[in-house]
Amino acid sequence: MKANVTNVRISPKKLNVIAYIVRGMDVKNALDTLRFMPKKWADIIYKVVASAVANATHNDAQELANLTISSIVVNKGLVYRRHNPISRGRAHAILKRTSHVNVELAVK
C-alpha cells in the first residue's frame, strides 16, 4: 500500500516539516490535518496520502479506519540550475530544488 510522487518543485527541507507532523498518524486524522494546515505545500502530501488510501482500498480491499501511515520519506530530486548575471560578466548560481515523496501505509 504505497504511493509516490517525483520531482515536485519544492525543496525537501520545506516538505519534511509537513511530513514530520503526519508521520505515524492514523490516515483519517492525517488527511484532516493536511487539509486544514496553513502550509502552502501540505496539499502535495495530502494528494499522495489520498492516493495511497485509494490504492489500499481498491487494490488490497482495506478499510480507511484500519490504516495508519507507517512511513513518509522525502528525498532530494533533480536540481534545476539557473544563473543570475552579476557585474564583470560573472554569474551566481540559482538552485531550484525538487523532491520525491514516498508514502507507505500499514494496517493497525
- What CATH code is carried by the domain that includes residue 82? 3.90.470.10
Euclidean distance between CA atoms 75 and 77, whole angstroms: 6
- Distance of alpha carbon 81 from alpha carbon 35, whole angstroms: 32
For residue 103, give the C-alpha cell.
Answer: 508514502
pLDDT in tens, 43-81: 999 999 999 999 999 999 999 999 999 999 999 999 999
pLDDT tens track for 74-84: 999 999 999 99
Q: Which residues pair with 97 in a beta bridge?
A: 79
In which domain, by residue range, is 31 found?
A: 2-107
- Answer whether 0.85 is exceeded by the pTM: yes
Total domains in the chain come to 1
